[in-house]
Amino acid sequence: MEWVHRLLAWYRHHQRQLPWRDDPSPYRVWVSEIMLQQTRVVAVQPYFARFLARFPSLESLAAADQEEVLKVWEGLGYYSRARNLHQAARQVVAERGGRIPASSVELAELPGVGPYTAAAIASIAFGEATPVVDGNVLRVVARHRAWREDIAAARTRNRVRASLEEAIAESGAPSSFNQAMMELGALVCTPRQPQCAVCPLAGDCRALAEGLVAELPVKRKRGAVPCYEIAVGLVFDGELVFIARRGEDQMLGGLWEFPGGKREGAESLAETCLREVREEVGLTVAVEEEICTVDHAYSHFAIRLTAFRCRLAGPVAELCCERPTRWVRLDQLRELPFPKANHKIFAALGM
């Protein structure tokens, strides 16, 4: 396994300087790994800096309000990550005296920590010899060994993980080994135009030898992403606008929003707005004007969201909502955590 030592030597010289690498304490590694789930390094860096400035320790995170945590996370997406991290921090403080578990098995018992994240934290922060398998690692291994299996399949992931057990043990440096594999995939063995000429694995890369680099890895194609038309109402009562907090079990849970929902059948978007406001929170409203339409893409679907300015056309006492609700001034909206798409509405309102 001479390739392992070439890989480690390459990593020593070419690794990126990333804020969580300067001081790989368990808390910082944990926060970084949660933020890096399905999110690119470049997007995570400013959030990581802000998060650590606001919550420099596990204890400070555990003591914070959930709304404050969501506000610092606002814009990074996948908000269940923030809620789970917060909940897990409280759990570690309350049940383990603030000591973050050192093994991947124990880490995987915490909210929001799956097998991948547990392996990453355990290896990087505690030196556990457990291979980490993300998209970068799958691509490097599939090419290095010229494996033609679908890398989206769970059995391929398991095969890749098993194939790295011996390598990580031989490395004698589990933290560097895992990070080196991911870094090689991110910087050299990239999806398009991999830089084989400077790759430390080129000497024994079977895809390169067999002319298969452009064909590998094999990945099953996902279907087309659906797009939903959504209408929301900014319901005004004088200078105050109505907002409701999304349920914990919902996507974007814990964030605030304007009431609204998906267009149905042949109804106009204004009709959707009236119906959804009525169904969601019981208020009878009249549409005054369209404020704006914004497009926003999530990982598995996209939305075209049209916001309407509405006025109450029935009594406020009709309000009927099991979720927390508030009436706030427009200038207070930016102080609260909202989904990213709503910030485009704020901009349209001149805020």
Smallest gap from Cβ 12 to ligand SF4, in A, equals 17
Window contacting ligand SF4 (CB under 6 A); options: 87-95, 202-210, 296-304, 340-348 = 202-210
- Distance CA(314)–CA(284), nearest Å, equals 5
Smallest gap from Cβ 160 to ligand SF4, in A, equals 13
Which positions from 140 to 159 touch ligand SF4 by CB under 6 A, shown as an x/- string?
x--xx---------------
Smallest gap from Cβ 187 to ligand SF4, in A, equals 10
Q: Which of 33, 74, 257, 276 is catalytic?
A: 33
Regarding 89 and contact with ligand SF4 (CB under 6 A), the answer is: no
Window contacting ligand SF4 (CB under 6 A); options: 18-26, 125-133, 200-208, 262-270 = 200-208
Q: Write the CB contacts of 210 (distance below 8 Å, at least 6 apart in sequence).
A: 146
Nearest to 290 by CA among 273, 266, 304: 273
Does the annotation mark 33 as catalytic?
A: yes
Which of 112, 131, 174, 194 touches ligand SF4 by CB under 6 A? 194
From the number of C-beta atoms within 10 Å of its C-beta (0-12, 13-18, 19+), residue 133 rates as buried
Between residues 150 and 210, which has the closer beta carbon with respect to ligand SF4? 210
Regarding 186 and contact with ligand SF4 (CB under 6 A), the answer is: no
Helix (H) or strand (E) holding 261: strand 260-262
Tokens of residue 113, six digits: 């920590």
Question: What secondary structure does DSSP assign to 304-321, as a single string?
Answer: EEEEEEEEESS-GGG---
Mark 93-128 as b/e (b = at least 16 C-beta within 10 Å).
beeeeeebbeebeebbebebbebbbbbbbbbbbbeb
Regarding 303 and contact with ligand SF4 (CB under 6 A), the answer is: no
Regarding 269 and contact with ligand SF4 (CB under 6 A), the answer is: no
* DSSP label of 222: P
Q: Write the CB contacts of 283 (distance below 8 Å, at least 6 apart in sequence).
A: 235, 242, 259, 277, 312, 314, 316, 318, 319
Window contacting ligand SF4 (CB under 6 A); options: 30-38, 109-117, 205-213, 244-252 = 205-213
Between residues 216 and 277, which has the closer beta carbon with respect to ligand SF4? 216
Smallest gap from Cβ 136 to ligand SF4, in A, equals 10
Instruction: Give the residue numbers annotated as catalytic, written as ranges.
Output: 33
Binding site for ligand SF4 (CB under 6 A): 140, 143-144, 188-189, 194, 196, 199, 201-202, 205, 207-208, 213
